[in-house]
Amino acid sequence: MTVSVVPVRDGAGMGGADLLSHAGRQHGLFTTAEADERGVSRAVLERWCDSGACRRVRHGVYAVVGAPATWEQSVVSAILAAGPGAVASHTTAAVVWGLPNLERETTEISTDRRRRARLPGIRAHRTVAFLSEEHTVRNGIPVTTVARTLVDLSGRLSVAQLGIITDDALRRGTLTLRELQRCVAGLPGARGRKPTRIRSVLAQRVDGYDPGDSALELRVLRAIVAAGLPEPVQQHEVAVASRRCRLDLAYPADKLAIEVDGFEPHRHRSAFDRDRSRANDLVVAGWTVLRFTSEFSDAQIVRTVTATLAALGQKRGA
């Protein structure tokens, strides 16, 4: 969503015009960091405030004259004040998405940092296993996806309530059962979060639903992200030995492939041999291949990936 803002004539030049344009895309708001990036000094910001061209709404966050003081603006101001990686979540995300039977309460946000943001009048959460696919932007507001919102609310709502919201989102086209399956996969229970309730919702709507080993790839991915490592690319496609193949997880720049092997007792020998042949082709093409099964703990996975990335970095710098 873009709002109209009144041009500020101050001598800030093109940087000032760019800042105002940027503010118009986030409900008339900008931060001191965003002003710095565009060469708009603190002195200029003070003159803007003195002249009534803008006003400070939170520490380091300003609203431009002409931008209406809406609920949406108050949510975005909290997100901007919390810093990069913050998004609207929980009941606030539910309102942004228009989910039924949930009303505006205390503004709730989540950050992807280990430290919880502390803002007056804001309920802040933190998660160290926030995947990029679990947040987006809607109506100019950074927000958790509907799937992640449902998972985050699973500790507060019953299976029946979650089911009503799920069905509504499915009808609106803001959610798919596949997205909900992926979001709950590999995500452990936590304070305020009960994945078992989401699995019950899925079991009622997906014939033969059984998370089984399907959650393993997401568990490995979440363990890596929770450890503070860069998020690897999922289902990365590469060409090796005149054929194309997809890697479960990958760091393309480091040529590190991470394969996740579920236990399949009835798997054919031909598939077993094909996987080993593919792994050999990857090594010949210069890739390092790591393989994990459900028997690996999160700590083992993190240690192995961390050590391998460090070794590859040293090799590249040698």
Residues 110 and 234 in one domain: no
Q: Which of 175, 210, 245 is the last residue of a domain?
A: 210
Segments forming the whole domain that contains residue 86: 75-210
Specify the higher pLDDT residue, 211 or 217.
Answer: 217
Predicted confidence (pLDDT) per residue in 269-298, tens digit: 566 667 778 888 898 999 999 999 889 999
Are residues 39 and 84 both part of a single domain? no
Cβ pair 260, 250 in contact under 8 A: no
Within-domain flag for 33: yes
Judged by average pLDDT, the poorest of 43-52, 62-71, 211-220, 242-251 is 211-220
Average pLDDT value for residue range 222-230: 91
In the chain, the number of structural domains is: 3
pLDDT in tens, 67-113: 899 999 999 999 999 998 899 999 999 999 999 989 888 999 999 76
pLDDT of residue 266: 43
**In-domain check, residue 113:** yes
226, 302: one domain: yes
Task: Look at 10-24, 82-96, 238-252, 274-288 and tell me which has the smallest mean pLDDT.
Answer: 10-24
Among candidate residues 49, 68, 87, the one where a domain is terminated: 68
What's the average model confidence in pLDDT over 154-164?
Answer: 95
Do 260 and 223 lie in one domain? The reply is: yes
127 and 89 in a common domain: yes
| CATH number for 307 | 3.40.960.10
- Whether residues 93 and 197 fall in one domain: yes
Q: Considering the domain boundaries, does residue 7 fall inside one? A: no
- Residue 3, domain member (yes or no): no
* Residue 5 resides in a domain: no
Together in a domain, 185 and 205: yes
Same domain, 231 and 159: no
**Do 100 and 191 lie in a common domain?**
yes
| Mean predicted confidence (pLDDT) in 215-229 | 88
How far is residue 235's CA from residue 248's CA, in Å, rounded to a whole number?
Answer: 5
Residue 4 lies in a domain: no
Average pLDDT of the chain to the nearest whole number = 87
Q: Are residues 127 and 244 in the same domain?
A: no
Task: Output the pLDDT for position 128.
Answer: 75
Q: Do residue 156 and residue 38 come from a single domain?
A: no
